[in-house]
Chain A
Amino acid sequence: MPCLRKVSQHRPRAAGAAPGPVWWVLARQMERMIVSMQDPDMGVKMRNQRLLITVIPHAMTGNDIVEWLIQKYGISEEESLHLGNLIVKHGYIYPLKDPRNLVLRADESPYRFQTPYFWTSTKWPATELDYAIYLAKKNIRKQGDLIEHEKDNYNLLHKRINHTWDFVVMQAREQLRAAKQRRKGDRIVIDCQEQAYWLVNRPPPGAPNVLEQGPERRNCHTTRVQLVSGGYRAHGPVALATSSRCSCRYIKFNEQYVPHDPIMSGCLPSNPWITDDTTYWAMNAPMVPTPTKLRVERWGFNFSELLTDPLGRAQLLDFLKKEFSAENLSFWEACEELRYGEQSRIPEIVDSIYQQFLAPGATRWVNIDSKTMERTLEGIKTPHRYVMDDAQMHIYMLMKKDSYPRFLKSELYRNLLAEAVIPPETKKRVFPFMRKQRHSSPSPALLPPAGDTEDCGGLMLAVT
């Protein structure tokens, strides 16, 4: 069993492109996997592999690796090959044949586990000095005949760390001399190990750099005590609920919405992305003369569904007009405009709301309870974005608890349901390989901005 050093003992030095602590998480996971792969009883089948005339011990075939992953993790061959390939790309397993290509082949190709000495996490960081010695060794052995990018790197390093070059060459010579005293089989193995290490840490141009990370994280090193505002009290008026109650809500939500989920249940007439036919989008555009059945049904799920659909909201407005409470919806929309509006226009919007909805004798006076009205009128003396929150919530709840249930029972809604369309499924095309032309649509950025009409809450409408 190879001697395994704990990864956590080695901290990355603060070098320019050093992978941060995040990389260590992955390294630890991979190493754990590698260790289980090398288990004498349950690990990958290992045997001697013949490489031309030399016999390499403790090797395995690509097939063995893929099979083992399939068995161990219960995954498909495709996934196993993909995972195995990543392990090889990260240098934890290396190929004996074609060692310059860190690729896993699901055949009889021989592979070996990388020695922990050469795990990227152990031998960290890969210094310029080490790389220079490696290249120098290669250079001496191949008598100057290095591959293009290695030649470039060699020359670059020669310039950059020129002052250490005597040391570099001496080290290279010593290492080569020591290597000559080893058996041929060992020499091949050590060469492959070292080569694999450098393929990972100094990938050739064009090859993916698996060690590449995004921008450095951990930019605020707060050692002082973290004051969590609000502490640990349970939020709002809702008490903590039992898990079973919460789980039941997911089940119920799932039942309601799955038929409306195009990925789960498909969509009629067809999914535009699959058939290139945009009829589905045309039939479900924000404002259509006849909405689909699914859409109208959805308005019945909860008040929010009705309100957020522009067509649903328009129907609600019609209904409220009949009940002489349309000002509630207009008031709510005006409050939304305040909450999400420009900072500089706040006093203007607050005043407009007051004049239209709250002032005594206002044309569209809203009926809110006296306490809330008092608080609101006091608040608008120093207008701010949230000054209408209480009043808005009151009216919202009124619509939700009072108008909405009546809307659902109304003739208006029942007619909508009855007249709603169920699009027929698109017949499979006779010549499926002839692709339908994909038409472009006008960009929302081209349309004139939504006007300030009474019926549409100018700001919030979805587009095209």
Chain B
Amino acid sequence: MSDVFGPCDKCSKEKPLRPVYIKSEQLSYCSLCVEMMATEGLRENETLASLKNEAESLKGKLEEERAKLHDVELHQVAERVEALGQFVMKTRRTLKGHGNKVLCMDWCKDKRRIVSSSQDGKVIVWDSFTTNKEHAVTMPCTWVMACAYAPSGCAIACGGLDNKCSVYPLTFDKNENMAAKKKSVAMHTNYLSACSFTNSDMQILTASGDGTCALWDVESGQLLQSFHGHGADVLCLDLAPSETGNTFVSGGCDKKAMVWDMRSGQCIQSFETHDSDINSVRYYPSGDAFASGSDDATCRLYDLRADREVAIYSKESIIFGASSVDFSLSGRLLFAGYNDYTINVWDVLKGSRVSILFGHENRVSTLRVSPDGTAFCSGSWDHTLRIWA
């Protein structure tokens, strides 16, 4: 388990490695050698096409089995749940200060501070309650698409077109330049689309346009585990709130949402029902399900135990992609930010739209509910962030 990056046992190149069993012996191969070996291992009557067909028919059989268990829709069972009353949410704070499109934001555990990043490379830490800016750093690249607050509240992580994820300790020392203590942690071969600390300040999970996700040790920058399986850019990820904390979900341009085991690097479950790129994934508070937002203008709910999509949140009048989703504390509401500048609020159980929020003057690019569920924050290409409650 300790050797996840090193010389491949076959081609000797320094790459992320996966365990592979050959004649009961465990070796470590890079993903390219694994694939080559897999295709080499064709038996006499097999061709790649015939194996693919076999895989497809197995997939079909599994779908049949899944379908047998699908006895009733979520919204049907939810008919007996009380309908939601009048729903009023307003912008309570507007954070102005970014000079360009806001791309990402994250909350601090203190329930009031946030970090946000933008197209012009600026990353700002705000006390959103007072709207004061507390820290600002300029990244050496543009399109900082990912940022995250450390659990301790003492550092932030960010990255984008530089293909890296860097960690900045937050300091109030006027003599110290924040950029001076910057630590380069993750290195991908394409843009960084998402990052998140795990349960501590010492590990970061990243998603990249190079099609992989990866887990890193912050102190040393060492790659602890890599996750291969997406067929295209990975755009988002979310860590499971489960009590044993071992899995996460990712979504990508291959229209797939994949659930991974952090320890082994294996994909445990995979869902492919969206018609376009998945821009955002977020776990339901119980950890039993997750929601996704996609460019196909729908949001969907996937149940991990039923192993299927159980709800779809869409409306004929909504034709723009959903860029970002998050649940209210109880999971009853799903807030989704769209490329048509609006935020739609969905009743998760009944599948209906509860409300539409106007205010932003360009795409909503990021949306997160605060840690205690008292509000949510949205960031937009109109250069502002808004706190709604």
A259 to B172, CA, bound (A): 39
Q: Do A244 and B319 touch across chains, with their CB atoms under 8 A apart?
A: no
- Determine whether B331 belongs to the interface, using a CB cutoff of 8 Å to chain A: yes
Q: Do B71 and A242 touch across chains, with their CB atoms under 8 A apart?
A: yes
Out of A224, A226, A244, A264, name the residue touching B332 (CB < 8 Å): A264
Report which residue of A228, A234, A284, A460 has the largest number of chain B beta carbons within 10 angstroms of its beta carbon: A228
Q: Do A228 and B270 touch across chains, with their CB atoms under 8 A apart?
A: yes
20 more contacts with CB within 8 A, not counting A83-B317, A228-B229, A262-B373, are A26-B320, A215-B191, A217-B232, A217-B233, A219-B232, A222-B231, A229-B266, A229-B267, A232-B270, A243-B72, A273-B374, A274-B389, A280-B374, A281-B112, A339-B199, A341-B202, A344-B219, A440-B129, A443-B113, A449-B152
A307 to B81, CA, bound (A): 30
Q: Do A29 and B319 touch across chains, with their CB atoms under 8 A apart?
A: yes
Closest Cβ of chain A: how far from B5's Cβ, in Å? Answer: 12
A385 to B52, CA, bound (A): 37
> Which residues of the other chain, A, contact B220 by a CB distance below 8 angstroms?
342-344
Q: Do A444 and B198 touch across chains, with their CB atoms under 8 A apart?
A: no
B 60-82 binary contact with A (CB < 8 Å = 1; else 0) = 00100110011111101110110
For B36, the closest partner residue in chain A by CB is A224
Q: Do B358 and A281 touch across chains, with their CB atoms under 8 A apart?
A: no
For B296, the closest partner residue in chain A by CB is A25
A343 to B223, CA, bound (A): 10
Q: Do B153 and A443 touch across chains, with their CB atoms under 8 A apart?
A: yes
Q: Do A263 and B319 touch across chains, with their CB atoms under 8 A apart?
A: no
* Residues of chain A from 208 to 247 with CB closer than 8 A to chain B in the complex: 208, 214-215, 217-220, 222, 224-230, 232, 234-236, 238, 240-247
* Residues of chain B from 74 to 117 with CB closer than 8 A to chain A in the complex: 74, 76-78, 80-81, 84, 89, 92-93, 103, 108-113
- Determine whether B328 belongs to the interface, using a CB cutoff of 8 Å to chain A: yes
Known: A73-B316, A79-B317. A232 touches B200 (CB 8 A): no
- Determine whether A415 belongs to the interface, using a CB cutoff of 8 Å to chain B: no
Q: Do A215 and B143 touch across chains, with their CB atoms under 8 A apart?
A: yes
For A27, the closest partner residue in chain B by CB is B319
For B374, the closest partner residue in chain A by CB is A262
Q: Do B172 and A246 touch across chains, with their CB atoms under 8 A apart?
A: no
For A382, the closest partner residue in chain B by CB is B2
A382 to B3, CA, bound (A): 12
- Determine whether A69 belongs to the interface, using a CB cutoff of 8 Å to chain B: yes
> Which residues of the other chain, B, contact A246 by a CB distance below 8 angstroms?
74, 288-289, 303, 305-306, 310
- Determine whether A260 belongs to the interface, using a CB cutoff of 8 Å to chain B: yes
Out of A75, A78, A261, A281, name the residue touching B330 (CB < 8 Å): A261
Closest Cβ of chain A: how far from B314's Cβ, in Å? Answer: 11
- Determine whether A304 belongs to the interface, using a CB cutoff of 8 Å to chain B: yes
> Which residues of the other chain, A, contact B219 by a CB distance below 8 angstroms?
342-344
Secondary structure type dominating chain B contacts:
loop
A342 to B217, CA, bound (A): 6
Out of A218, A258, A263, name the residue touching B233 (CB < 8 Å): A218
> Which residues of the other chain, A, contact B253 by a CB distance below 8 angstroms?
217-218
Out of B69, B328, B387, name the residue touching A263 (CB < 8 Å): B328
Known: A225-B52, A459-B200, A464-B153. A263 touches B331 (CB 8 A): no
- Determine whether A293 belongs to the interface, using a CB cutoff of 8 Å to chain B: no
Instruction: Jot down 22 A-B pairs with beta carbons below 8 A, ordered by A.
Output: A22-B276, A22-B295, A25-B295, A29-B319, A74-B317, A78-B358, A79-B317, A225-B52, A232-B59, A240-B306, A243-B72, A247-B76, A247-B77, A249-B286, A250-B74, A251-B81, A281-B372, A342-B202, A396-B244, A446-B172, A450-B152, A463-B110
* Residues of chain B from 246 to 300 with CB closer than 8 A to chain A in the complex: 253, 259, 263, 265-270, 275-277, 284-286, 288-289, 295-297
Interface size on A, residues (CB 8 A): 100
> Which residues of the other chain, A, contact B339 by a CB distance below 8 angstroms?
26
- Determine whether B228 belongs to the interface, using a CB cutoff of 8 Å to chain A: yes
> Which residues of the other chain, A, contact B155 by a CB distance below 8 angstroms?
445
- Determine whether B53 belongs to the interface, using a CB cutoff of 8 Å to chain A: no
Q: Do A273 and B228 touch across chains, with their CB atoms under 8 A apart?
A: no
Report which residue of B48, B265, B328 has the largest number of chain A beta carbons within 10 angstroms of its beta carbon: B328
- Determine whether B315 belongs to the interface, using a CB cutoff of 8 Å to chain A: yes
Report which residue of B169, B171, B220, B232 has the largest number of chain A beta carbons within 10 angstroms of its beta carbon: B232
